[in-house]
A and B are shown apart, each in its own frame.
Chain A
C-alpha cells in the first residue's frame, strides 16, 4: 500500500516536472521569437537606415588630441613646454612576429637595449592594438631611411608627436612633476570618472606634481575629425572637424630665478625650502633636494636610471618639502611664546634664572638646555634671541599640552596646508587624545616638556612650517598656500585667479605679535643665533633657528658634531620673514644633517631673501662648490655665542 503511494507520488512528481519543463520550453520559444523579431526589425525594416549608417561609418571618426597647456612661472618663464618630434611606433596587434620585426628594425635604425626594455614595459601596460613607441626623437636621416623601407614593416609607423619637456630638470622635479603614458590603471580610473571619452587618442597623463594635480586644466578638450576612408581604411578627404581645445596654461606663483637660486644655495646638502608671500599665500620657491630629472619619466624610465633613483640613500624621489616630516625643534618657540602671552602664563617682563637645565618637581631627570651652565637671566625677548630651552621647558608645563595643542593648531600645525599638490603629509601635533588613540597610553608631563621645544612627538613638514611662518608674518591672516596663481585660457587669453580670499584668521594680540617679531628680528642681529646670516642686511629679518635631532643623546652625554656620523647629525632649520615690519616673504629652510640652523640653513634663507627683496644674485664663490662633500663648518663661522647652538 505504502509502496503504491510512493509510486503514485513519484508519477505525480514526474508529471509536475514535465509540466514545468514544458513551461520552460514555451519561455525559450517566446524569447527566441522576440530575438527573431528584433532581427527582422533591424535587418529588414530598418535595414536602409543602418545601411546608410554603416556607409557613413566609412567616415572614420578620429580624435584630435589637444595641446597640453604650458606651465609658466610668475614672470612668464617656461617651466614645462611641448615640442614636436618624430617617433618610431609599433602596433603590436598588427605585427606578426614582434621580436623579428624589432630585430629587423634595429638593422635600420639605432635601437638600444634600453629602448627595447622600455618597449617591453609599455607592451605589458598597454593594450596591443595601441601604437607604442620603440624609439623617440628620430633624426631626419633616420626618418628618411625608414620611409624608404616602410613596405617591409606592416604595423610600424613614423609619427610626429608632441613631447613634453621640463627645461629646469632636477630643479623643479618635485614641484612640476611629470607626465607619463596612460596605463591600464589610469584608463580604468578615467573610465570611472567618466573622462575616458576625452582621452581618446591621448597617450599621456600627469603622474606627479602640478602635472598631476592640475591634469584636468592642462589636458584640454579632445577634438574630432571626420575623415572619409576608402575600403582599405585610408583617409580620402576630411569631411568635417571640430577642433580640439588646447589645455589651459598655468601661471605659477613661483619665481623661476628665485627657485634656481634657492636650489643652488643648498650646495650638496639635502633638504627643503618653501618660500611664501604671506600677503596672499603665493608660493615663491619650493625646493626639495635632491631632485631627479622629470624628463626621464615621460616615456617610461629605463630600469637602470630607476634603480639609481630608487635605491639612492639620498632618496631623490622623496618630496621632502611636502612629505618629509621632521621635529620642528626651536622654530616652535616663537609660537610657544605667543601661546604663553595669550594664556597669561608669561608677560614680557617675566624673567627666569636659567641654570642650564630643567627639573620637573619630584623628578631627578634633567632636561638640559643646549648651553651647559645656562643663559643666566632670561625674559621672553631673550628666550627667542638666544633660543633658551629652559625657558620653554617651564612654559610648556605651565601651559599644559591641551592649551599648546589648541593654540598651535591655529597656525596649521598637525594638518595639511591644502597646497595644490597631491600627497601632502599632515605632520603631527600631539595631544592627550592623540596619544591615547595611537599608543593607548596616558600623556605624561615629560611629553609636554619635550613638545615645548619642538621635540618628542611633534612633527612638521617644511611646507607646514613655512605656512605657519607666513601666517605669523601676516599678523594672523592666513591665505591658502598655492603654486598656481592663474589659469589662462589659451584661446581667449582670459586669466582666472585661484586664491583671492583669506582662508582663516588667527586672532593675535598686536602687542604680543610686536614683541615676538622684535625678538625674532634680534635673532639675526649681533647676539642672536643667526647673527652671521643677518650680517649686513639692508632690511630687517625676523627669524628663528632650530635643530631637529636625528639620534637621541644619552642622559649626561654631550652632542659633539664632529664626532657624529654625517647622516646622524642633526637637521638644521631656519624660519624667517622679511622685511620684518612689512613682510613680503616668509620661508622655512631645512638642511638635513646640517648641524644647527644658524650656520647652514640661515645663509640659504638669506640668499633667497636677498634676491627676492633686492634682486641680488649670489656670486658664484658664495655658492658652496659642487662636487665637494659637505663638511661641518663649525669652526668657519663664529656666532655670537662661544658654543654652537645645540638645542
Chain B
C-alpha cells in the first residue's frame, strides 16, 4: 500500500472541512491553556492526550455504517438511563451534588453519556414512526427527553440538564413539532415560572439573582462573573497580548483552564481574537448545517441537526456566561476548555456527523 493509499484509507470517512474547523479550535485551546496554566506544559500535554483519545473514538465512529449508529441508539439510551437511576440511588456526592457513579474500576458521570444518547434515541424513535407521525409520537419523544433531564436536574446539575433539554428540543423542533404546541408550551412555561423558581436549589437561585447584580456578593458567588467581565472588558480591541493577561496571571480568574478559559483568551487576544473565535465556531456550525441539509435519511437529518445546534448552544452558553449575559451554570467552552470527558462527547458527535456525511456520499456513487 502506498502512502497515498494509506492516507485515503485513513481519511475516507473524515470530513476534512469539518476537521479543519475543529483542529483550529483545538489549536486555540492549546495556545490558551499554555497561558492559563502559568506557561507550563503540563496542562497542554494532558489536553493533547485528551484530544488523541477523543480523535481515535471519532475516527472509529466516522467509519461506522449508519445502520450501526441506528442500532446502537436504544441500547445506549437504556444503559444511560440505568446508570442515571443508579446515580440517583447509589451515587457519590461531590460538591453537594450526586453526579458520579462508582462502578468499582472508575467513577463515571452518566449525564455525559446522555448528551449523545438522548438525541440519538429521539432521532431513532422519529425515524421508526416516520410514516405515521402523530401527536402521540411527539408526546412519547418528549417523555424520552424529560425523564433523563429530570433525573439530571435533580442531581442537581442544572447546566447539563439545560443542555440535554436543548439537544432534545432541537430534535422535536426539526421533526416538525407543531407551532401551536410550541406556543402552548411557551405560555405554560411562562405561567409555571414561579413554581419552577420554588423548585430550584438555593444556590441555583442565588446564581440567577447574582446575574442581575453580581456586585452584591463580590467575595462570594458574584466573584466569578465580575472577574470574567473584567477580563473580557479589559482586553479591549487588540487584547493585552499573549501571556500578558493580568487577570489571568495574578490569580484573579477562577477555573481559568476549564469553564472560564474564554476569559483568558479574550483578555489576551481582545475583540479581534473574539471575532476569530466566533468565526471558527460559525464555520464549524455552518459545516454541520450543510451536512444536516444533505443528510440522506430522516434519522440522520434529525441527529445531525441536533448535534450541530447543541454544539452551538455549548459555545453560546459558555461565552454568554463568561461575558455576563447568562448565569454561571458550569458549561465548558466546546473544544477549548480543558477536560477529557467533554472532549470525548464532542468528538463522538462530530464522528457521527462525519459518518452521516461520508456514508451518504458513498451511497450516491
Do B96 and A191 have beta carbons less than 8 Å apart?
Answer: yes
Do A50 and B220 have beta carbons less than 8 Å apart?
Answer: no
A contact residues around B174 at 8 Å (CB): 17, 20-21, 24
Give Cα distance in the complex from A494 to B12, angstroms.
Answer: 81
- Name the distance in Å between B3's Cβ and chain A's nearest Cβ: 39
Most buried by A among B202, B232, B234, B325: B234
Q: Which of A18, A43, A192 contacts B233 (CB 8 A)?
A: A43
B contact residues around A35 at 8 Å (CB): 278, 316, 319-320, 323, 325
- Name the distance in Å between A553's Cβ and chain B's nearest Cβ: 45
Do A192 and B234 have beta carbons less than 8 Å apart?
Answer: no
Do A188 and B274 have beta carbons less than 8 Å apart?
Answer: no
Do B95 and A50 have beta carbons less than 8 Å apart?
Answer: no
Q: Which of B206, B220, B235, B278 contacts A32 (CB 8 A)?
A: B278
Query: Scoring B residues 237 to 268 as 1 if CB is less than 8 Å from chain A, else 0, what string do you get?
Result: 10000000011011110000000000000100
- Name the distance in Å between B25's Cβ and chain A's nearest Cβ: 15
Do B96 and A24 have beta carbons less than 8 Å apart?
Answer: no
Q: Which of B170, B202, B249 contacts A192 (CB 8 A)?
A: B202
Do B289 and A21 have beta carbons less than 8 Å apart?
Answer: yes
Give Cα distance in the complex from A196 to B266, angstroms.
Answer: 29
- Name the distance in Å between A66's Cβ and chain B's nearest Cβ: 15
Q: Which of B220, B270, B309 contacts A196 (CB 8 A)?
A: B220
B contact residues around A60 at 8 Å (CB): 250
Q: Which of B96, B217, B324 contacts A188 (CB 8 A)?
A: B96
Do B305 and A50 have beta carbons less than 8 Å apart?
Answer: no
Give Cα distance in the complex from A196 to B219, angstroms.
Answer: 9
Which single residue of chain B is at the shortest CB-CB distance from A52?
Answer: B234
Q: Is A564 part of the contact surface with B, judged by Cβ < 8 Å?
A: no
Which single residue of chain B is at the shortest CB-CB distance from A45?
Answer: B233
Query: Scoring A residues 23 to 62 as 1 if CB is less than 8 Å from chain B, else 0, what string do you get?
Result: 0110010011011101110111011011101100110110
Find residues 575-630 in chain A having any chain B CB closer than 8 Å to their own CB.
Answer: none
Q: A28-B309, A31-B316, A188-B96 are in contact. Are A47 and B293 (CB under 8 A)?
A: no
Q: Is B328 part of the contact surface with A, judged by Cβ < 8 Å?
A: no
Q: Is A637 part of the contact surface with B, judged by Cβ < 8 Å?
A: no
Give Cα distance in the complex from A43 to B278, angstroms.
Answer: 15
Give Cα distance in the complex from A46 to B230, angstroms.
Answer: 10
Give Cα distance in the complex from A231 to B305, angstroms.
Answer: 47
Q: A35-B278, A60-B250 are in contact. Are A54 and B217 (CB under 8 A)?
A: no
- Name the distance in Å between A446's Cβ and chain B's nearest Cβ: 43
Query: Scoring B residues 305 to 335 as 1 if CB is less than 8 Å from chain A, else 0, what string do you get?
Result: 1000100100010011001110000000000
Query: Scoring B residues 61 to 73 as 1 if CB is less than 8 Å from chain A, else 0, what string do you get?
Result: 0000000000000
Do A20 and B173 have beta carbons less than 8 Å apart?
Answer: yes
B contact residues around A167 at 8 Å (CB): none
Give Cα distance in the complex from A36 to B292, angstroms.
Answer: 25
Query: Scoring A residues 230 to 244 as 1 if CB is less than 8 Å from chain B, else 0, what string do you get?
Result: 010100000000000
A contact residues around B233 at 8 Å (CB): 42-43, 46-47, 49-51, 53-54
Give Cα distance in the complex from A61 to B319, angstroms.
Answer: 26
Do B234 and A21 have beta carbons less than 8 Å apart?
Answer: no
Do A36 and B229 have beta carbons less than 8 Å apart?
Answer: no
Q: Is A200 part of the contact surface with B, judged by Cβ < 8 Å?
A: yes
A contact residues around B285 at 8 Å (CB): 28
Size category of the A interface is 35 or more
Find residues 280-297 in chain B having any chain A CB closer than 8 Å to their own CB.
Answer: 281-282, 285, 289, 292-293
B contact residues around A188 at 8 Å (CB): 95-96
Q: Is B176 part of the contact surface with A, judged by Cβ < 8 Å?
A: yes
Give Cα distance in the complex from A393 to B308, angstroms.
Answer: 82
Q: A21-B174, A24-B170, A32-B278 are in contact. Are A42 and B246 (CB under 8 A)?
A: no
Q: Is B129 part of the contact surface with A, judged by Cβ < 8 Å?
A: no
- Name the distance in Å between A319's Cβ and chain B's nearest Cβ: 26
Q: Is A352 part of the contact surface with B, judged by Cβ < 8 Å?
A: no
B contact residues around A16 at 8 Å (CB): 176
Q: Is B231 part of the contact surface with A, judged by Cβ < 8 Å?
A: yes
Q: A43-B237, A51-B233, A57-B250 are in contact. Are A192 and B316 (CB under 8 A)?
A: no
Q: Which secondary structure dominates where chain A touches chain B? A: helix
Q: A21-B289, A38-B325 are in contact. Are A50 and B229 (CB under 8 A)?
A: yes
Query: Scoring A residues 183 to 199 as 1 if CB is less than 8 Å from chain B, else 0, what string do you get?
Result: 01000100110101100
Q: Is A499 part of the contact surface with B, judged by Cβ < 8 Å?
A: no
Q: Is A123 part of the contact surface with B, judged by Cβ < 8 Å?
A: no
Give Cα distance in the complex from A20 to B176, angstroms.
Answer: 8
Q: Is A309 part of the contact surface with B, judged by Cβ < 8 Å?
A: no
Interface size on B, residues (CB 8 A): 52
Do B234 and A53 have beta carbons less than 8 Å apart?
Answer: yes
Query: Scoring B residues 6 to 41 as 1 if CB is less than 8 Å from chain A, else 0, what string do you get?
Result: 000000000000000000000000000000000000
B contact residues around A32 at 8 Å (CB): 278, 281-282, 316
- Name the distance in Å between B242's Cβ and chain A's nearest Cβ: 15
Q: Is A109 part of the contact surface with B, judged by Cβ < 8 Å?
A: no
Q: A47-B236, A192-B203, A197-B220 are in contact. Are A58 and B250 (CB under 8 A)?
A: yes
- Name the distance in Å between A436's Cβ and chain B's nearest Cβ: 31
Q: Is B271 part of the contact surface with A, judged by Cβ < 8 Å?
A: yes
Which single residue of chain B is at the shortest CB-CB distance from A25?
Answer: B289
A contact residues around B247 at 8 Å (CB): 54, 57
Give Cα distance in the complex from A61 to B250, angstroms.
Answer: 11
Q: Is A229 part of the contact surface with B, judged by Cβ < 8 Å?
A: yes
Q: Which of A17, A34, A192, A224 contacts B96 (CB 8 A)?
A: A192
Q: Which of B170, B217, B234, B246 contacts A197 (CB 8 A)?
A: B217
Do A58 and B202 have beta carbons less than 8 Å apart?
Answer: no
Q: A54-B234, A60-B250 are in contact. Are A43 and B271 (CB under 8 A)?
A: yes
Find residues 297-351 in chain A having any chain B CB closer than 8 Å to their own CB.
Answer: none
Q: Which of B94, B170, B230, B298 contacts A50 (CB 8 A)?
A: B230
Query: Scoring B residues 160 to 176 as 1 if CB is less than 8 Å from chain A, else 0, what string do you get?
Result: 00000000001001101
Find residues 167-191 in chain A having any chain B CB closer than 8 Å to their own CB.
Answer: 184, 188, 191
Give Cα distance in the complex from A511 to B173, angstroms.
Answer: 84
Q: Is B301 part of the contact surface with A, judged by Cβ < 8 Å?
A: yes
Do B237 and A57 have beta carbons less than 8 Å apart?
Answer: no
Q: Which of B95, B220, B274 contacts A43 (CB 8 A)?
A: B274
Q: A42-B323, A197-B219 are in contact. Are A21 and B274 (CB under 8 A)?
A: no
Do B251 and A233 have beta carbons less than 8 Å apart?
Answer: yes
Which single residue of chain A is at the shortest CB-CB distance from B235?
Answer: A43
Do A39 and B96 have beta carbons less than 8 Å apart?
Answer: no
Query: Scoring B residues 188 to 221 as 1 if CB is less than 8 Å from chain A, else 0, what string do you get?
Result: 0000000000000011001000000000010110
Give Cα distance in the complex from A406 to B324, angstroms.
Answer: 62
Q: A24-B170, A40-B271, A47-B234 are in contact. Are A200 and B219 (CB under 8 A)?
A: yes
Q: Which of B217, B231, B246, B305 contacts A58 (CB 8 A)?
A: B246
A contact residues around B281 at 8 Å (CB): 32
- Name the distance in Å between B62's Cβ and chain A's nearest Cβ: 22
B contact residues around A192 at 8 Å (CB): 96, 202-203
A contact residues around B270 at 8 Å (CB): 43
A contact residues around B305 at 8 Å (CB): 21, 24
Do B230 and A57 have beta carbons less than 8 Å apart?
Answer: yes
Which single residue of chain B is at the shortest CB-CB distance from A196?
Answer: B220
Which single residue of chain B is at the shortest CB-CB distance from A233?
Answer: B250
Give Cα distance in the complex from A194 to B305, angstroms.
Answer: 42
Do B274 and A39 have beta carbons less than 8 Å apart?
Answer: yes
Do B232 and A28 have beta carbons less than 8 Å apart?
Answer: no
- Name the distance in Å between A531's Cβ and chain B's nearest Cβ: 58
Give Cα distance in the complex from A197 to B232, angstroms.
Answer: 24
Closest 9 A-B residue pairs measured CB to CB? A50-B233, A54-B234, A197-B220, A42-B233, A197-B219, A50-B234, A43-B271, A47-B236, A51-B234
Given A21-B305, A24-B305, A35-B325, 7 further pairs, Cβ under 8 A: A16-B176, A31-B316, A36-B275, A46-B233, A47-B237, A50-B233, A54-B234
> Can you identify 6 A-B contacts, CB atoms within 8 angstroms?
A50-B232, A54-B230, A57-B247, A194-B206, A197-B220, A233-B251
Residues of A within 8 A of B (CB): 13, 16-18, 20-21, 24-25, 28, 31-32, 34-36, 38-40, 42-44, 46-47, 49-51, 53-54, 57-58, 60-61, 184, 188, 191-192, 194, 196-197, 200, 224, 229, 231, 233
